[in-house]
Structure 1
Amino acid sequence: MSFRAGLLLIGALLLTGCKAEPQAQSPRVKAAGFDAIYVWPGVRPGPDSVAKTIYLLDGEVRRNGPARLERLRMGVPKLPGRSVWLVVRAERLDWNDATYAAILGDIEKWQTAGNDIVGLQIDFDAATRGIEGYAAFLRTVRERLPKQWKLSITGLMDWSAHGDPQALAGLAQTVDEVVVQTYQHRSTIPGYEQYFARMERFPIPFRVALVEGGEWTAPPMLERQPNFRGYVVFLLNPAKPKR
């Protein structure tokens, strides 16, 4: 065996003897330890859930056809001892009087059934550069929503990086909280740490929405941010992805 061939053989043996260290994964989100959850129709909290605040999807205002509330629940939920947010998913913002009447009527029915209704949440994917127009719609919602109920919205992590500060300040005058979505479908969006590093001056009280089973390590700066109000875990149906 030549000297060169011997070196190659030694190198190959060294390489086969070395195994790459596996990358450490972030812990997986377990809903049982959180006090606020999202519950979509067809999904049930586990028996070990300690959640005292529940965001329940009532229906959708869909893109096609007239603007109306398409209810997704059979009957009225009854959750005594829990704080409940009625959630409406919106694909459009040209709501008419009938749309508002249906949504506000459901809030009243839920409360009459014995639920402690905190308020209404609108789940709408507002583009970062469209916050100003979205804020105008939300002002109308706030005017129609009786004052005893709060107004919550979902928001994108990108708002913290590229959102117009003036538009965000306008939102702060209208909504009571933003729930920042950190996931898409069943997975946590990579690079979330970078977004939360920019939220020190975010002007609106916010919660952070995590997906059940997704990876999550809390950024160190998050707990120090003055408007941070905790987490909401989006529960998953094992059989069907919900988002």
Structure 2
Amino acid sequence: MLLVGRGIIAALLGALLVSACGDKESGRVDPADHAAFYLWAGVRPGPEVARASELYILDGEVRRNGERLVALHPQAPRLADKRLWLVVRTQTLEWNPAVRSVILRDLAHWAAASPGLQGLQVDFDAATAHLDDYAAFLRELRAVLPPRYRLSITGLMDWSANADPTVLARLKGTVDEVVVQSYQGRTTIPGYERYLERLARVPVPHKVALVEGGAWREPAALRSDPLFRGYVVFLLNPS
């Protein structure tokens, strides 16, 4: 009976271990394994937000006409215990001057409510062929940002593989970090491994954005990349 009992106990412990580790070994992005998250408009915060150390929260969006910032998070978040980024999603680089004024106002409001505010992130899908234009836009934006705010941007994986190194170098000294997107919609982009193997070509500190539930196996090169700073998970509502 003692041998049978030990066998049952071993089986139960094995089942519990598989249950606890299954998400980590499944090749899928589990928010429980991470501490930094994107929180977009309309996404219901889960328990991972409460324990997060860093949040990127969408404040608003600049539409194609560039006329104004459409507010998507009207109240400044009060999160004293977290590092926080105010994110502006933009469809254009042709901003009305009033857009920058509104962003600066929002940054001041967020900083007053959340002392852990790091700065501004611009979320823009800059094609590799037009990265030089984007770098010029960012230099102008950096010039009007108060020095206490850091500047973050999202980036495409294609930059690491195909961007001109001299153009990539123009980001250095202007932006403080690049968060490279490895997904589109709810799905990880196929072939992400071969792009991220070359991420060290981006000469500023960089993170990789993952989508909740998306396929993921960490490329070995990331852990030896001296400028790699970890992951940010884009949270989703259940489908």
* 1:231 alignment partner in structure 2: 231
**CA-CA distance at 1:80 after TM superposition:** 1.4
* 2:19 alignment partner in structure 1: none
Structure 2 unaligned runs (5+)? Answer: 1-24
**CA-CA distance at 1:75 after TM superposition:** 1.8
C-alpha contact (below 8 Å) 2:152/2:175 kept by paired residues: yes
Cα distance in 2 for partners of 1:76, 1:48 equals 20
CA displacement, residues 198-227 of structure 1 (integer Å, 9 cap, x when unaligned): 223321110000000001010111110111
1:142 maps to a residue whose letter is R
Identical aligned residues as a percent: 56
C-alpha contact (below 8 Å) 1:156/1:180 kept by paired residues: yes
C-alpha contact (below 8 Å) 2:35/2:48 kept by paired residues: no
Q: Secondary structure at the match of 1:143?
A: helix
* 2:176 alignment partner in structure 1: 176
Does the alignment pair 1:60 with 2:82? no
Quick one: structure 1 residues 166 and 26, their matched pair in 2 at CA, closer, same or farther if it must change by over 3 Å? Answer: farther
Q: Which runs of 4+ in 1 moved over 6 A?
A: none
Aligned residue-pair number? 214
Q: How does 1:4-153 map to 2 (within 5 A)?
A: 27-49=27-49, 50-64=51-65, 66-153=66-153
* 2:185 alignment partner in structure 1: 185
**CA-CA distance at 1:238 after TM superposition:** 1.9
Cα distance in 1 for partners of 2:73, 2:222 equals 35
Higher CA-based Rg = 1
C-alpha contact (below 8 Å) 2:210/2:232 kept by paired residues: yes
> Could you state the TM-score of these two structures normalised by the residue count of structure 1?
0.84
Cα distance in 2 for partners of 1:33, 1:103 equals 32
**CA-CA distance at 1:173 after TM superposition:** 2.0
Cα distance in 1 for partners of 2:221, 2:39 equals 28
**CA-CA distance at 1:26 after TM superposition:** 5.3
Cα RMSD over matched residues? Answer: 1.4
